[in-house]
Amino acid sequence: MAAPAHERVRIFGIRHHGPGSARSLVRALEDLRPDVVLVEGPPEADAIVGLAADPGMVPPVALLAHVVDGGEGRSAAFWPFAEFSPEWQAIRHALRAGVPVRFCDLPAAHHLAEAPDHDSVAEPDTGPAPEPDAEPDDRPNDRPDDGPDDGPDNGPDAAAAVRLDPLARLAEAAGYDDAERWWDDVVEHRGGGPAPFDAVAEAMAALRDHAPAPPADHVRREKRREAYMRRTVRRALKDGFERIAVVCGAWHVPAIAAALGPARSPGAPTAAGDDRTLRGLPAVRVALTWVPWSYGRLAARSGYGAGVTSPGWYHHLFAAPDRPIERWFTAVAAVLRVEDLPVSSAHVIEAVRLADALAALRGRPLAGLAEVTDATLAVLCEGADLPLELIQHRMVVGERLGAVPDGTPMVPLQRDLRDEQRRLRFHPSATAKELDLDLRRPVDLDRSRLLHRLRLLGVPWGEPGGSGRGKGTFRETWTLAWRPEFDVRLVESGAWGLTVRDAASARARALAAEAGGLTELTALAEQCLPADLGDALPAVMAALADRAAADTDVAHLMGALPALVRTLRYGDVRGTSAEPLRTVVDGLVVRVCVGLPAEVIGLDDDAARALLGRVDDVHGALSLLGDAEHTARWHGTLTTLIDRPGLHGLIEGRLTRLLLDAGLLDDAGGSPGGDDGRADVPADGDDGADRPAGGDDGRVGDSAGGSRPDRFAGGIGDRMARAVSAGTSPAHAAAWIEGFLSGGGLILVHDDRLLRLVDAWIAALPPESFAAVLPLLRRTFGTFEAPERRAIGERVARIGTASGRGSAAGESLDLERAAPAVRTVIGILGGPHGDSGRPRARSGSGDRSEPVRRGDSRRDDERERT
């Protein structure tokens, strides 16, 4: 005759992700030797639970349930497991012993059919698809940061407080003000002794009996879950199992045990009542698989409802039961030494002593995380917060990312990505790391294409770095960090194709059809080319051409041009064809040049500043493009604008600087032809073909062989003098200066006349005007680098002194002593030796050096006499 149900069933109420609970559970299961193990989780996972015994399954991992055929409700849910999770240890024990494992929670088909509510804990920064934990509020310590309820001990708020964090009430009754510390002391830090499960079950029964009634919707949800748990237990009894182990959240223990008592009360749940509770539940078709998880996502701070504050610390407590404090400090010292911080063995010894002393003073059985952290800060980090933050990130939370075996069920898109990662030796990691790709190498080029394609699919495994383009168009810098929720994105993106390339191409075509503006289309085109999506590029280009032809807003056209030019440039480097873009770019340049004059009329300060940014972007884009015809057309447009009456000072100053840097304005102080205003034009028939196309900052210069506007009559000094003259309002003058210097302040370091003009203008301002323009000037000069500001200040300090005048006129230089050094430098740079290597003499009346004319012996003789 079979034993009574309550003798055949043993219920273990555990705390999810608790190392003490896991260790106690392992001992209890070894003593019980059950013939079936029931674990809280979705029963659809029974078919794949055997994969937990595969050597390739390395926790932390998670069961992922996702909707297959759509429908209302949630799209996916996770059930995470760590090495120190009691459920994981129960599963591994059953698989080692060769006994069945069954999940006993409400099926995922019903769970995902429910509309998202407060129990759906969306992961932060994961996009539009919610990834909730499976019923996070079933955990006895869901919200470890929530303290005991301060309100009256009745009503829905009090009920929610008890339900969300029952440990807080137990800790409060035990005289603790921290539920985490109480649980660690009584459970997690236990080295031996009797198992705590009976005491936990009794405490939970008392809490359930005295807790205020929760909200009605919460009651319905909990009744369904616990009804299904009891149904699973009854099925195991019916199947003839004699030793049934049930591993579930401690809160549910009284509800399951109530149906198994030797003398059930009249109100105890019955099988018929549970069937009525579960009848007619909404359901969707779901699929389950295993996916890698990370300790960062297991932490409570990630938004995971059942998370713990210190996954790395809990993993250490479970993996190192022997002398855990000593081993912890040894590992901390190793981490700090890797960062070149001096930590000796004496530091470790003192830290252990301090942690033990703090635990004794605080009445704790073992030094906990608080004591260990205090000792680490005081001894190993010597009071510095930054090393402590490093330990918090790398060890207390941890950087571990799990792995799943190849036999795990996956959608084709996931399988293709895994194959690509293996082919490219490109393995994911939860730790953010920098990756520098050289696109001239085939393997790096394929890695770049894979990262760009994944970004199109909403899987930002890699974030482009800001410094990659500064190293040349053949280099890319990425920051890589894999997040578990990316697997959900891959599952959702499986509808676009079976491979990453096909899915990205289909997604790009769909985005092109749905794009609402020119900026979106240009950004999409910029993504398609580096992703090498030749199949999708024609559709994107057709949509882009149609939208560009219909868009009459010059601001939109100027905003779209830089992205298209970058795409053209990247297309050349990657060896992919970008000819469809050339026609679009040609048309945009013409339309921008035609429409810009009308765009600069009647601008206020905000509009002028916005236009300034767009002008700089277009100027830089055309510099990158290097097309002589487009460059000449752009310069011609700027030429027509610079003397337009009523032009905003910010725009006028910026256009003046752009034309000066392009060589289209004389940089002398007076008119061309004068001794002090001689234009720096080529002599002896030199047509300027050797002039560089741009400076270090990428600005366009004279294009070899291309036409360009003639130089202006009048130097930059005269233009600045007019801009800051007494007849100009201080606000306009300050805006002109800001626009002119927005490209950098080095021009004031190298051009003494311009510096003197700015200094004289500021000195002549009346007090009220000075107070008005000072914020503008501070904003302008605040954008300069510190060395630039220092050099400008030093030159201003010398204005009016003999050294300042000598420096300006070149009178303090000993030309004979400087000539050998100049010849040596010219020789190193590959230039000719001889007289051309002598320092250039400065004109007696001007403030700049005269150009050295090759073959001008008379000037050489004059220079020798000087």
Task: Give the pLDDT band of residue 515 (cuts 50, 70, 90).
Answer: confident
- Structure tokens given for 356: 């033990």
Q: Give which of 769, 651, 780, 630 is closest to 707, Cα–Cα.
A: 630
Q: Give every strand in the sheet of 101-103, ordered side by side.
A: 9-14, 244-249, 36-39, 101-103
pLDDT at 118 over 50: no
Query: What is the predicted pLDDT for the residue at 103?
Result: 95
CA distances from 402 to 58, 295, 519, 547 (A): 5, 9, 39, 46
Higher pLDDT, 861 or 417: 417
**Nearest CA to 29 among 247, 333, 204?**
247
Sheet holding 76-81, edge to edge: 76-81, 61-67, 286-292
The Cα 288–Cα 291 span in angstroms is 10
- Rounded to whole angstroms, the Cα distance separating 730 from 419 reads 65
- Sign of the alpha-carbon dihedral angle for 569, 575, 581, 587: positive
CB-based burial of residue 518 (10 Å sphere; 0-12 exposed, 13-18 middle, 19+ buried)?
Answer: buried
The CB density around residue 445, as the number of other CB atoms within 10 Å, is 20
Position 577 scores a pLDDT of 55
Say if residue 708's pLDDT is above 60.
no
pLDDT in tens, 1-41: 567 777 889 999 888 887 888 888 999 999 999 999 999 99
Examine the pLDDT at 833 and tell me if it is beyond 60. Answer: no
* β-pairing verdict for 475-480 and 462-464: antiparallel
Between the alpha carbon of residue 376 and those of residues 233, 326, 384, the distances in Å are: 47, 12, 10
By percentage, how much of the chain surpasses pLDDT 70? Answer: 75
Higher pLDDT, residue 63 or 364: 63
Instruction: State the pLDDT confidence band at 581, using cuts at 50, 70 and 90.
Output: confident
Contacts of residue 285, Cβ cutoff 8 Å, sequence gap at least 6 = 67, 68, 69, 71, 109
Q: Count Cβ atoms within 10 A of the Cβ of residue 254 and give its class: 0-12 exposed, 13-18 middle, 19 or more buried.
A: buried
pLDDT band at 472 (very low <50, low <70, confident <90, very high): low
Residue 724 — pLDDT band, cuts 50, 70, 90? confident
Pairing label, strands 36-39, 101-103: parallel
Distance (Å, whole) CA 95 – CA 286:
25
Specify the residue for token string 């609402």: 516
Residue with tokens 């102080």: 669
Residue 814 pLDDT more than 50?
Answer: yes
**Cβ pair 84, 321 in contact under 8 A:** no
Query: Is the pLDDT assigned to residue 436 strictly greater than 80?
Result: yes
Q: How far, in Å, CA of 125 to CA of 138, rounded?
A: 25
**pLDDT score of 427:** 87
Q: Please check the confidence at residue 119 and state whether its pLDDT lies above 70.
A: no
Give yes or no for a contact between 395 and 333, defined as CB atoms under 8 angstroms apart. no
> What is the average pLDDT across 65-69?
83
**β-pairing, 61-67 with 286-292?**
antiparallel
Q: Following CA atoms 74, 76, 81, 85 in sequence, which dihedral angle do they give, to the nearest 10 degrees?
A: 10
What is the Cα 572 distance to its own chain's centre?
Answer: 28
CA-CA distance, 837 to 821, in Å (whole number)? 9
The average pLDDT across 205-217 equals 75
Q: Are strands 76-81 and 244-249 parallel, antiparallel or unpaired?
A: unpaired
pLDDT, tens digit, 9 for 90 and up, residues 267-307: 678 888 889 989 989 888 899 999 999 888 887 655 555 56
Q: Tokens for 690?
A: 């050797």
Q: Is the pLDDT of residue 58 over 70?
A: yes
Cα–Cα distances (Å) from 268 to 264, 309, 531, 612, in that order, read 6, 37, 62, 76
What pairing do the DSSP bridges indicate for beta strands 475-480 and 433-438? antiparallel
Identify any residues that bridge with 65 across adjacent strands, giving them in sequence order.
Answer: 77, 288
pLDDT for residue 365 is more than 70: yes
Token representation of residue 528: 């398609």
Mean pLDDT throughout 367-394?
Answer: 91
What percent of the chain lies above the pLDDT cut of 90? 22
What backbone torsions phi and psi does residue 538 show, to the nearest 5 degrees?
Answer: -60, -40
Sheet containing strand 433-438, edge to edge, reads: 433-438, 475-480, 462-464
Q: How far apart (Å, rounded) are the C-alpha atoms in residues 83 and 58?
A: 8
Q: Could you tell me which residue, 214 or 616, shows the higher pLDDT? A: 616
Q: What is the CA radius of gyration of the chain?
A: 37
Cα distance between residue 362 and residue 567, in whole Å? 63
Is the pLDDT at 809 greater than 50, yes or no? no
- Beta carbons of 748 and 761 less than 8 angstroms apart: no
The 3-class SS string of 790-808 reads HHHHHHHHHCCCHHHHHHH
Strands 9-14 and 76-81, sheet pairing: unpaired
Q: For 133-144, how does the pLDDT look when each residue is reduced to its tens digit (9 = 90+)?
A: 333 333 333 333
Backbone angles phi and psi of 476, in degrees to 5: -135, 140
Whether the CB-CB separation of 215 and 159 falls below 8 Å is answered with yes
The CA distance from 24 to 183, in Å, is 14
- Residue-level pLDDT at 845: 39
C-beta separation of 659 from 708 below 8 A: no
Position 522 confidence tier, pLDDT thresholds 50, 70, 90: confident
Most confident of 311-325, 514-528, 713-727: 311-325
Q: Give dist(CA 562, CA 523) in Å, integer.
A: 10
**Would you say 103 and 158 are in contact if contact means Cβ atoms under 8 Å apart?**
no
Mean pLDDT of the residues in the chain: 76
List, in sequence order, the alpha helices (H) in 112-215: 155-164, 166-173, 179-183, 197-210
Closest CA to 622 of 665, 657, 658: 658
Closest CA to 808 of 761, 849, 853: 849
CA distance 518 to 671: 45
Q: What does the block give as tokens for 330?
A: 């040894």
Instruction: Please write down the long-range contacts of 807-811, taking CB distance under 8 Å and 24 or more positions apart.
Output: 807/752, 808/752, 808/847, 809/842, 809/844, 809/847, 810/841, 810/842, 810/849
The residue count for the chain = 866
Classified as helix, coil or strand, 270 is: coil
User: Residues 245-264: pLDDT tens digits?
Assistant: 999 988 899 989 888 866 55
Q: What is the mean pLDDT of residues 366-395?
A: 91
Separation of alpha carbons 126 and 457, rounded Å = 13
Residues 787 and 798: beta-carbon distance below 8 Å:
no
pLDDT for residue 666? 62
Residue 798: what are its φ and ψ, rounded to 5°? -90, -5
Residue 712, pLDDT above cutoff 80: no
Supply the pLDDT for residue 230: 92
User: What is the average per-residue pLDDT within 102-121?
Assistant: 74
CA–CA distance, 164 with 169 (Å, rounded to integer): 11
pLDDT (average), residues 51-61: 93
Please tell me the distance from the alpha carbon of residue 214 to that of residue 156, in angstroms, as a whole number. 5
What angle (nearest 5°) sits at the alpha carbon of residue 355, between those of residues 353 and 361?
100
CA pair distance 411, 495, nearest whole angstrom = 10
Strands 244-249 and 9-14: parallel
First CA to last CA across the chain, in angstroms?
Answer: 123
pLDDT at 707: 41
Which is higher by pLDDT, 492 or 727? 492
Q: Is residue 355's pLDDT more than 80?
A: yes
Q: Across the strands, what pairs with 133?
A: 78
> Tell me, what's the pLDDT at 469?
43
**Tens digit of each residue's pLDDT (9 = 90 or more) over 740-767:** 887 677 777 777 777 777 777 777 777 8
Where does the pLDDT of residue 697 fall: very low under 50, low under 70, confident under 90, or very high at 90 and above?
very low
Identify any residues that bridge with 286 across adjacent strands, giving them in sequence order. 67
- In this predicted structure, the answer to whether residue 536 has a pLDDT above a threshold of 50 is yes
Q: Which residues on neighbouring strands pair with residue 401, listed in sequence order? A: 294
The values of phi and psi at residue 755, to 5°, are -65, -40
